[in-house]
Amino acid sequence: MMKRIGYRPAVARQTESLEIGRRSVAEALESLDLATFVGKTIGLAGIGASYQAALAGALYLRASGIRAFAYTPTDLYGRTDAAADAFIALSASGQSREISDVMREASGSPRLAICRGSDNPLADLTGAVLATDSGADNGASSTGYTGTLLALGMLIDRLAGNSFDWTRLPGAVATLLSGAEHVAGQAARLLQGRTSIDIVGADSGFANAGEAAMLVREAVRVPASGWDTLNYLHGPMESQDAATGLIAIGDGREVKIAQDMSGFGCPSALVTRRTDVAGAEMLVVISLPTLGNAMADAILEIIAIQLVVGDMQDAAGLTDITFRYRQTDTKLKPWSPTEV
């Protein structure tokens, strides 16, 4: 059983969760037969936070020379055969009904599930599972999301023959959690009370922008949207003003977006690996360490934002809330107040 805990405790255990996950995934990869995935176009299927992880994973696969695409179940219903030659199915709980539906349709293709554990319907259906062992979490996915990114990164490195020392990640996360707490609080105070918040990023930052938007909606109950950096420049930013907020993720054009928006009076936070960007009255800069691996760096990005969201949740008087609108048809088992 994976225990449901409060939002802040879930974020606080990221270092522990990722170290456990790193060891578990490394051990599992030694015995997992990946031969059926070699030379294939890979489809990554996810929904909710898992779809955002799928976007990051597909990008990293393509950057590693492997043809890959991210899909929601809506993309795949009735057309899995045309979508990919092999599938990685993402569901932290392994209970997402829609992911099971499309993986059942893809029964003739190689399939691999990435879940918190190995004892769940999706793992049984695919016949192969990479368990993240991310453990206790909140309904607004914290360790579940980062555990999925970790497993995807390590899996893709194995498929592509990439070399990265994943033992470096937990230490970097511990440094971030302790070092960014104060500035995350500053960002939360700046963004608190906004009517809506846009989150903007490119590459894996775009995946994290979508995930961050979900966190703000789920944990703070504020409308939020995730945008691709370049797409954001073509109109969506026009609605921003002093009543709204912005979180920009990245080291390139995102920096100017954050500076421009804050200059116009829109409270803004910049999550970046750059060290030459100064904060301002309406701009808080959260500086990240750099590990040099797209998936590992993506984990650091989202944890920084998780810290901000935790402070926003507390300030809004919503500490440790559960979802108001529970859906009865999205999971294969009934909702539980004690399990995730």
pLDDT in tens, 107-142: 999 999 999 999 999 999 999 999 999 999 999 999
Residue spans per domain, the chain? 7-160, 168-315
State the amino acid at position 237 in one-letter form: M
- Average pLDDT (89-116) is 98
pLDDT in tens, 226-244: 999 999 999 999 999 999 9
pLDDT in tens, 244-255: 999 999 999 999
Q: Which CATH number fits domain 168-315: 3.40.50.720, 2.60.120.10, 3.40.50.620, 3.40.50.10490?
A: 3.40.50.10490
pLDDT at 1: 64
Fold that domain 7-160 belongs to in CATH: Rossmann fold (3.40.50)
* Cα–Cα distance, 227 to 199 (Å, whole number): 6
pLDDT at 339: 87
Mean pLDDT computed over every residue of the chain: 97
pLDDT at 198: 98
> b/e per residue, 236-270, with b = 16+ CB within 10 A?
ebeebeeebbbbbbbbeebbebbbebbeeebbbbb
First to last CA, the chain: 8
State the amino acid at position 93 in one-letter form: S
Q: Do domains 7-160 and 168-315 have the same CATH topology?
A: yes
* Cα–Cα distance, 56 to 305 (Å, whole number): 16
Q: Model confidence at 337, in pLDDT bands (50, 70, 90)? A: confident
Residue 245: phi and psi, rounded to 5, are -140, 165
Helix %, strand %, coil % of the chain (to 5) = 50, 15, 35
